[in-house]
Amino acid sequence: MRLSAEYLVKQYQENLYLASFSICRNQQDAEDVVQDTFLNYLHTAKDFESEEHIKAWLIRVAVNKSKNILTTFWHRKKETLEDYMSSISFQEPEDLALTEAVLALPKSYRIVIHLYYYEDYSVSEISKILSISESAVKNRLLRGRKMLKAELKEDWTDDE
């Protein structure tokens, strides 16, 4: 017996997510597990006896994938941004403020600022990497700098 993936997703996606989340305790990991579980179903040649058999198989696969995530090097070594930031030593207190301000930027500006200042890519290289126009890169750099200036100016005036 084989059922359509669409039907199974509608029927069991939430169950698989909850089972996976209870093990992983991370939304993104649980979502990845659910997706991988359904991909496994699509790629398996196994013939199932009933819908209950399919459900049990899906849950078993999701549980095993969730447990596998917990044993990966990445999962064991990841840490929160706050822990990571506290482990870095900055020569000047202003360096920490700048790093935090860059990380607080919206994603589109943060990426462009990072590539330009930290990775030393040119505007044209960033344009190719991100598949956007050079003028868009320049605009994002300009706006990102303005946001950083405003944020860092606040920090400086608060300290005085």
The full set of domain ranges for the chain reads 5-77, 81-159
Q: Which CATH number describes the domain made up of 81-159? A: 1.10.10.10
Q: What is the pLDDT of residue 75?
A: 65
- What token pair was written down for 107? 């994603």
Quickly count: other Cβ atoms within 10 Å of residue 104's Cβ: 11
pLDDT at 81 over 80: no
pLDDT at 157 over 60: no
Distance CA 5, CA 39 (A): 9
Q: What is the pLDDT of residue 156?
A: 56
Grade residue 12 by pLDDT with cuts at 50, 70 and 90.
very high
**Whole-prediction pTM value?**
0.52
Grade residue 121 by pLDDT with cuts at 50, 70 and 90.
confident
CA distances from 92 to 99, 135, 150 (A): 11, 33, 20
Instruction: State which CATH number among 2.60.40, 1.10.1740, 2.40.160, 1.10.3470 fits the domain covering 5-77.
Output: 1.10.1740
CATH fold match for the domains 5-77 and 81-159: no
